[in-house]
């Protein structure tokens, strides 16, 4: 399972060696659907509605699905407009729980998985870009308790 | 960490093995020894038993330290209780250095019919592989010793003396001397198991006679299996359920202790017999127990039991003599005080000079473990709220992390929890099979980075994606918490229980009205009392709650909480109830909306006495309410009953929901609340509201509700998670893994 994701993450650099990650495409049975991923990291909540309204008006075709990627835990605006959304914990949460897991590795893998899941034909960014978001994630600081094995 | 003794055991055993272990831990603590307890999940028990309460009490009381499988330990003695826990290799690396490794054999290797009970050679091999030292075998009795092969497996040695069961005589006060009752009270206790009973009904009735004019037969640990075994039971048999507490009191109420079991069973020792002897009961046993208990008991064939009892009834002095012999035997051979002497004699472990200082110096924090709480829900909040109830009860050292499909994820994040959101196929217009593949990836990804010790899943539906992710890590202890009151259409999910290590069912007050499919699975789950996120006494006082909600004094406040309405249209009910309430000039309606309701169009109050509020958890403020009109979902129903809020229940009767109607019926018929069905009662809404607001009716409902005895099942679930978060697993064979 993990292998599949790792292969996909190499896609950008080694296109010719990449296995087809299609078997985790979320619309495998609905080939007519195409998707656009819109990142909205750190966007001022007051501007969110306008972004949704504008992108829906300009981008959505009959078979298009817009997927908004947010780091705001309040999903009310997305729900109000009936759009699809994904959530990644914001930097403040990552720092609060920094020792829980290797955030940078996780978020990079998660981003790869989201690309495989949605296979977007376009990725649009409002606010912080995905690259900046991923760069900012805490490096590995998993805590060690006394007297525990190192392995 | 340096210890005198590291105890290693499957702490879920219900019977004598755990009790014997508890006595040893207590005795070691009294001697000032430094000990730890490493819990193992062995292959013998499938049922999701919790930790034996006696052992948990010792951990909670600090008599011994909980040991995490990853903690480095150096111990003078490792005491491994019960051979079967090492039937497989340990499934994670441990770092335990033992001066001596003793395996206490609580069960014969071969039973009375010659059937091999465990593979000693394999067990010894697994022990040496895990601990790197030879194994000293410690049979608990001559029966177990005699069942060992003459030539032991390589790496095994036999201790020169038996590791006899010990008992703390202070916990088993002697019965008051006096003549037997009339009718004579004959009793026995054992865990519920057919093998613990005579194989034939004829023998059973010879041993436990049906003549009610002469005998009362008192059985602790009886169950429906006795009727399966013997047919209709005699009317003088009093059956009590198995219990861990109150045993000394039970025994003190008997005149004779009479214990016979199936010919197919080999009783390695008979701890229950020891308990009866400790209390000073005249104890009658089959002759094969004579080598174990000598003159402390009386031995007879089944046909002679009545004659022996008669003899003692007619000879008060003989009865007193036999009673004294029993107690004295236990004191000389099985007193817990002998434990320290045994340790010093066999292993040179002496009582430390300054035990208090040494014990205090050993306390070290346990490594942090994560508990991943996963839940479904989407439009609802119930599963997430229940998980938060459990999460807030976890001890320091266990960190909850949430992964939920609920749009209310922010509630967990706002409480300071690390939270993730997972999409549900309905919310993204995906085919379930495609979505399941993705869900498996997403969960696996989170699990592999977080490395939780426990995965706790709260939902009715178990998706293939969840099962697939769990299958990737057999050492991740997985729990499915599912509430009862299922509809028949949910039955297909029952089989998904196999994907989990344990199923926990939070109880229902309206249990008798549950006829759903989960009812059949009761014997396979760990049942806990109803779970509440907030307990009734954690609510704000009435004045403070009214102040917070800015409610004017003198008004009758009715909370209206009918759910999101996305799968069962409650608009008519809402409008009807609102009108009926607001027609009363002294009434104010607090219309409580879900923070994630589907209907997000702005809506306006219909008047000055109609307040629309978003509250979570609304129960915190419920002392401000004089009455409520709610849909009886699991959480709201139990909150309102246990919080004694006079309530009109309007069930959501959508096919996909639980049996809310049955809950409401229970409340209505028991006088705990009122029931109005949308399609039946709406035309009469005025009279329902009138009844709800009648002061006498409200007082009566509140009084009935206040009489319900309840403890929060969330405490038990949190304990269960704590005990399994630091468990060493040998319940599967890692050598055959992928």
Q: pLDDT per residue over B317-344, tens digit each?
A: 999 999 999 999 999 999 999 999 999 9
Q: What residue of A is the nearest CA neighbor of B363?
A: A146
Could you tell me if B208 and B239 are in contact, meaning their C-beta atoms sit under 8 angstroms apart? Answer: no
| Inter-chain touch B410–A28, beta carbons under 8 Å | no
| Inter-chain touch B399–A100, beta carbons under 8 Å | yes
E strand or H helix at B503, and its extent? strand B502-506
Higher pLDDT, B113 or B432: B432
What is the reported pLDDT for B593? 84
Could you say which DSSP state residue B481 is in? E
| Inter-chain touch A101–B449, beta carbons under 8 Å | yes
Say yes or no: B156 and B34 in one domain. yes
- Whether B60 is covered by a domain: the verdict is yes
Residue B701 has a CB neighbour count (10 Å cut-off) of 27
Helix (H, G, I), strand (E, B) or coil at B232: coil
Say yes or no: B303 and B342 in one domain. no
What is the average pLDDT across B682-708? 96
Q: Which of B166, B158, B146 has its CA nearest to residue B103?
A: B158
Q: Is pLDDT of B627 > 80?
A: yes
Number of A to B CB contacts under 8 A, please give it. Answer: 122
Say yes or no: B551 and B459 in one domain. no
* pLDDT band at residue B359 under the 50/70/90 scheme: low
What is the reported pLDDT for B176? 85
What is the reported pLDDT for A41? 97
What is the reported pLDDT for A141? 61
What is the average pLDDT across B199-228? 92
Percent of chain A with pLDDT over 70: 78
Structural domain count, chain B: 4
Q: Which of B317, B246, A90, B27 has its CA nearest to residue B7?
A: B27
Tens-place pLDDT, residues B478-523 = 999 999 999 998 899 999 999 999 999 999 999 999 999 999 898 8
What is the reported pLDDT for B377? 72
| Inter-chain touch B407–A1, beta carbons under 8 Å | no
What is the reported pLDDT for B603? 76
Which residues of B fall within a CB distance of 8 Å from A4? Answer: 441
Q: Is pLDDT of A15 > 80?
A: no
Residue B507 has a CB neighbour count (10 Å cut-off) of 17
Which residues of A fall within a CB distance of 8 Å from B71? Answer: 147-148
Helix (H, G, I), strand (E, B) or coil at A123: strand
Could you tell me if B631 and B660 are in contact, meaning their C-beta atoms sit under 8 angstroms apart? Answer: yes
What is the average pLDDT across B123-129? 96
Which CATH number does the domain housing residue A103 bear?
Answer: 3.40.50.170
Could you tell me if B48 and B344 are in contact, meaning their C-beta atoms sit under 8 angstroms apart? Answer: no
Residue B517 burial (10 A CB sphere; 0-12, 13-18, 19+): middle
| Inter-chain touch B430–A148, beta carbons under 8 Å | no
- Whether B717 is covered by a domain: the verdict is no
In total, chain B counts a number of residues equal to 738
- Whether B468 is covered by a domain: the verdict is yes
CA distance B677 to chain A (A): 30
- ipTM of the shown complex: 0.86
Token pair of B350, please? 């002496």
CA distance B409 to chain A (A): 7
CA-angle at A6, arms to A4 and A12, nearest 5°: 110
Q: Does A102 touch chain B if contact means CB atoms closer than 8 Å?
A: yes
Interface test with A, best of B36, B38, B75, B367 (most A CBs within 10 A): B367
Q: What residue of A is the nearest CA neighbor of B596?
A: A76
Residue A83 has a CB neighbour count (10 Å cut-off) of 19
Give the span between the Cα atoms of B83 and B107, in whole angstroms: 8
Q: Which of B420, B201, B171, B386 has its CA nearest to residue B279?
A: B171
| Inter-chain touch B431–A29, beta carbons under 8 Å | yes
CA distance A10 to chain B (A): 17
Token pair of B495, please? 């089989």
Token pair of B31, please? 């001697």
- Whether A4 is covered by a domain: the verdict is no
Say yes or no: B567 and B471 in one domain. no
What is the reported pLDDT for B469? 96
Tell me the sheet residues that pair with B504: B481, B526
Which CATH number does the domain housing residue B451 bear?
Answer: 3.40.50.2000
| Cα separation values, A85 from A37, B216, B424, Å | 9, 69, 11
In degrees to the nearest 10, what's the CA dihedral of A104, A108, A114, A120? 130
What is the average pLDDT across B633-638? 94
What is the reported pLDDT for A5? 36
Dihedral over Cα of B543, B549, B550, B556: its sign: negative
Q: Which of B56, B38, B42, B41 has its CA nearest to residue B244?
A: B56
Could you tell me if A117 and A33 are in contact, meaning their C-beta atoms sit under 8 angstroms apart? Answer: no
What is the reported pLDDT for A19? 39
Give the span between the Cα atoms of B673 and B641, in whole angstroms: 8
Could you tell me if B105 and B80 are in contact, meaning their C-beta atoms sit under 8 angstroms apart? Answer: no
Could you tell me if B224 and B242 are in contact, meaning their C-beta atoms sit under 8 angstroms apart? Answer: no
Give the span between the Cα atoms of B52 and B45, in whole angstroms: 13
What is the reported pLDDT for B143? 87
- Whether A116 is covered by a domain: the verdict is yes
Say yes or no: B692 and B555 in one domain. yes
Q: Which of residues 26-85 of A touch B (CB under 8 A)?
A: 26-30, 33, 65, 67, 73-76, 79-80, 84
Q: Is pLDDT of B301 > 60?
A: yes
Say yes or no: B565 and B637 in one domain. yes
Token pair of B107, please? 């069960």
- Whether A123 is covered by a domain: the verdict is yes
Tell me the sheet residues that pair with B158: B137
| Inter-chain touch A87–B431, beta carbons under 8 Å | no
CA distance B600 to chain A (A): 6
Q: Is pLDDT of B616 > 50?
A: yes
Could you tell me if B502 and B526 are in contact, meaning their C-beta atoms sit under 8 angstroms apart? Answer: yes
- Whether A88 is covered by a domain: the verdict is yes
Sheet with strand B610-614: strands edge to edge: B610-614, B587-593, B556-561, B627-630, B647-649, B674-675
Give the span between the Cα atoms of B437 and B441, in whole angstroms: 7
Which residues of A fall within a CB distance of 8 Å from B371? Answer: none
* pLDDT band at residue A146 under the 50/70/90 scheme: very low
Residues of the domain holding B295? 169-333
CA-angle at B506, arms to B501 and B512, nearest 5°: 125
* pLDDT band at residue B381 under the 50/70/90 scheme: confident
Question: Which of B365, B433, B449 comes nearest A102 by C-beta?
Answer: B449
Could you tell me if B164 and B140 are in contact, meaning their C-beta atoms sit under 8 angstroms apart? Answer: yes
- Whether A132 is covered by a domain: the verdict is yes
- Whether A1 is covered by a domain: the verdict is no
Cβ neighbours for B229, distance < 8 A, ≥ 6 positions apart: B194, B197, B201, B204
Residue B647 burial (10 A CB sphere; 0-12, 13-18, 19+): buried
Q: What residue of B is the nearest CA neighbor of A144?
A: B367
CA distance A149 to chain B (A): 6
Could you say which DSSP state residue B110 is in? B
Give the span between the Cα atoms of B89 and B445, in whole angstroms: 27
- Whether A3 is covered by a domain: the verdict is no
- Whether B732 is covered by a domain: the verdict is no
Which residues of A fall within a CB distance of 8 Å from B70? Answer: 148-149
Tens-place pLDDT, residues B513-558 = 999 999 989 889 999 999 999 999 999 999 999 999 999 989 999 9
Give the span between the Cα atoms of B362 and B64, in whole angstroms: 10
Dihedral over Cα of B252, B254, B260, B261: its sign: negative
- Whether B53 is covered by a domain: the verdict is yes
Give the span between the Cα atoms of B470 and B476, in whole angstroms: 7
Say yes or no: B548 and B695 in one domain. yes
Q: Is pLDDT of B122 > 60?
A: yes
| Inter-chain touch B449–A93, beta carbons under 8 Å | no
Tens-place pLDDT, residues B233-246 = 999 999 999 887 88
Say yes or no: B231 and B317 in one domain. yes
Residues of the domain holding A119? 33-136
CA distance B135 to chain A (A): 24
Could you tell me if B82 and B45 are in contact, meaning their C-beta atoms sit under 8 angstroms apart? Answer: no
Structural domain count, chain A: 1
What is the reported pLDDT for B414? 94
- Whether A96 is covered by a domain: the verdict is yes
Q: Is pLDDT of B191 > 90?
A: no
Could you say which DSSP state residue B212 is in? T
Mean pLDDT of chain A: 83
Tens-place pLDDT, residues B659-674 = 999 999 999 999 999 9
- Whether B738 is covered by a domain: the verdict is no
Helix (H, G, I), strand (E, B) or coil at B704: helix
Could you tell me if B258 and B289 are in contact, meaning their C-beta atoms sit under 8 angstroms apart? Answer: no
- Whether B716 is covered by a domain: the verdict is no
Say yes or no: B391 and B499 in one domain. yes
Token pair of B138, please? 């410690």
Say yes or no: B317 and B250 in one domain. yes
Tens-place pLDDT, residues B602-611 = 678 999 999 9
- Whether B548 is covered by a domain: the verdict is yes
CA distance A127 to chain B (A): 21
pTM above threshold 0.80: yes
Alpha carbon A128 to chain centroid, angstroms: 13
Say yes or no: B160 and B239 in one domain. no
Tell me the sheet residues that pair with B400: B371
Give the span between the Cα atoms of B717 and B88, in whole angstroms: 28
* pLDDT band at residue B379 under the 50/70/90 scheme: low
Give the span between the Cα atoms of A144 and A148, in whole angstroms: 7
Could you tell me if B127 and B135 are in contact, meaning their C-beta atoms sit under 8 angstroms apart? Answer: yes
Tokens 């050492």 — which residue? Answer: B475
Tens-place pLDDT, residues A109-120 = 999 999 999 999
Mean pLDDT of chain B: 92
B220-228 — which CB contacts under 8 Å span 24+ positions? Answer: B220/B187, B220/B188, B220/B189, B220/B190, B220/B247, B220/B250, B221/B189, B221/B190, B221/B191, B221/B192, B221/B196, B222/B192, B223/B192, B225/B192, B225/B193, B225/B194, B226/B197, B228/B194
Say yes or no: B307 and B353 in one domain. no
Q: Which of B425, B509, B428 has its CA nearest to residue B461?
A: B425
């Amino acid at each position: 399972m993990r292998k599949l994701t790792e292969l996909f993450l190499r896609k950008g650099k080694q296109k010719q060696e990449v296995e087809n990650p299609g078997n985790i495409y979320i619309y495998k049975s609905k080939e007519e659907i195409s998707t656009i991923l819109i990142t909205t990291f750190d966007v001022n909540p007051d501007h969110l509605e306008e972004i949704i309204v504008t992108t829906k008006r300009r981008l959505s075709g009959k078979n298009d699905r817009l997927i908004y990627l947010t780091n705001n835990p309040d999903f009310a605006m997305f729900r109000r407009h009936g759009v699809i959304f994904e959530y990644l914990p914001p930097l403040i949460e990552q720092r609060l729980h920094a020792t829980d897991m290797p955030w940078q590795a996780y978020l990079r893998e998660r981003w790869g998985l989201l690309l495989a899941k949605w296979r977007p034909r376009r990725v649009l960014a409002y606010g912080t870009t995905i690259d900046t978001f991923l760069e900012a994630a805490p490096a590995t600081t998993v805590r060690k308790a006394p007297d525990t094995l190192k392995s | 960490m340096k210890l005198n003794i590291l105890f290693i055991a499957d702490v879920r055993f219900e019977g004598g093995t755990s009790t014997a272990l508890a006595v040893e831990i207590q005795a070691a603590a009294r001697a000032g020894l430094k000990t730890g307890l490493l819990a193992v999940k062995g292959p013998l028990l499938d049922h999701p038993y919790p930790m034996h309460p006696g052992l948990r009490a010792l951990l909670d009381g600090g008599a011994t330290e909980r040991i995490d499988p990853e903690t480095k330990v150096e111990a003078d003695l490792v005491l491994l209780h019960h051979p079967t826990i090492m039937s497989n290799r340990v499934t994670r690396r441990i770092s335990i250095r033992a001066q001596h490794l003793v395996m206490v054999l609580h069960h014969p290797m071969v039973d009375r019919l010659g059937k091999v009970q465990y593979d000693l050679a394999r067990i010894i091999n697994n022990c040496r592989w895990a601990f790197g030292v030879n194994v000293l075998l410690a049979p608990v009795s001559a029966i177990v010793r005699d069942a060992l092969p003459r030539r032991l497996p390589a790496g095994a040695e036999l201790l020169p003396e038996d590791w006899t069961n010990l008992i703390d005589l202070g916990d088993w006060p002697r019965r008051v001397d006096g003549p037997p009752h009339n009718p004579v009270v004959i009793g026995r206790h054992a865990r519920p198991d057919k093998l613990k009973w005579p194989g034939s009904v004829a023998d059973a009735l010879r041993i436990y006679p049906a003549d009610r004019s002469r005998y009362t037969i008192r059985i602790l640990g009886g169950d429906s299996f006795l009727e399966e075994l013997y047919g209709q039971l005699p009317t003088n048999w009093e059956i009590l359920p198995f219990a861990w507490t109150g045993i000394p009191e039970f025994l003190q109420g008997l005149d004779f202790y009479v214990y016979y079991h199936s010919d197919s069973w080999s009783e390695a020792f008979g701890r229950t017999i020891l308990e009866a002897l400790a209390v000073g009961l005249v104890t009658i046993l089959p002759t094969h127990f004579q080598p174990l208990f000598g003159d402390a008991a009386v031995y007879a064939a089944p046909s002679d039991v009545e004659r022996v009892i008669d003899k003692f009834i007619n000879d008060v002095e003989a009865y007193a003599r036999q009673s004294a012999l029993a107690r004295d035997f236990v004191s000389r051979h099985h007193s817990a005080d002998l434990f320290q002497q045994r340790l010093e004699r066999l292993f040179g472990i002496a009582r430390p000079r300054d035990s208090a200082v040494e014990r205090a110096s050993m306390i070290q924090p346990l490594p942090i473990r994560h508990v991943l709480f996963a839940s479904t829900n989407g439009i609802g909040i119930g599963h997430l709220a229940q998980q938060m109830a459990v999460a807030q009860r976890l001890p320091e050292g266990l960190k909850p992390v949430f992964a939920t499909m609920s749009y209310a994820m922010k509630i967990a994040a706002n409480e300071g929890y690390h939270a993730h959101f997972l999409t549900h196929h309905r919310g993204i217009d995906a085919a379930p099979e495609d979505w399941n593949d993705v869900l498996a990836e997403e969960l696996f990804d989170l699990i592999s980075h977080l490395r939780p010790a426990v995965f706790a899943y709260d939902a009715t539906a178990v998706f293939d994606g969840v099962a697939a992710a769990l299958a990737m890590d057999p050492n991740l202890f997985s729990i499915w918490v599912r509430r009862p009151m299922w509809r028949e259409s949910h039955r297909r999910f029952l089989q998904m229980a196999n994907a989990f290590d344990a199923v926990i069912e939070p109880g229902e007050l309206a249990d008798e009205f549950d006829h759903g499919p989960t009812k059949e699975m009761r014997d396979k789950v760990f049942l806990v009392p109803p779970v509440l996120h907030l307990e009734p006494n954690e609510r704000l006082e009435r004045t403070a709650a009214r102040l917070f909600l800015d409610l004017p004094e003198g008004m009758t406040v009715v909370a209206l909480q009918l759910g999101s309405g996305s799968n069962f249209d409650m608009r008519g009910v809402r409008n009807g109830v609102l009108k009926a309430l607001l027609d009363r000039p002294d009434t104010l309606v607090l219309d409580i909306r879900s923070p994630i309701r589907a209907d997000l169009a702005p809506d306006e109050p219909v008047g000055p006495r109609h307040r629309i509020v978003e509250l979570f958890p609304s129960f915190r403020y419920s002392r401000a309410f004089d009455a409520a009109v709610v849909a009886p979902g699991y959480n709201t129903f139990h909150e309102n009953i246990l919080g004694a809020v006079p309530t009109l229940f309007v069930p959501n009767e959508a096919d996909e929901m639980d049996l809310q109607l049955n809950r409401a019926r229970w409340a209505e018929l028991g006088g705990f609340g009122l029931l109005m069905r949308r399609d039946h009662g709406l035309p009469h809404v005025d009279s329902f509201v009138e009844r709800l607001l009648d002061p006498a009716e409200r007082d009566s409902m509140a009084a009935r509700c206040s009489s319900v005895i309840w403890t929060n099942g969330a405490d038990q679930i949190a304990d269960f998670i704590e005990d399994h978060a630091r468990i060493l697993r040998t319940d599967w064979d890692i050598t055959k893994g992928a």
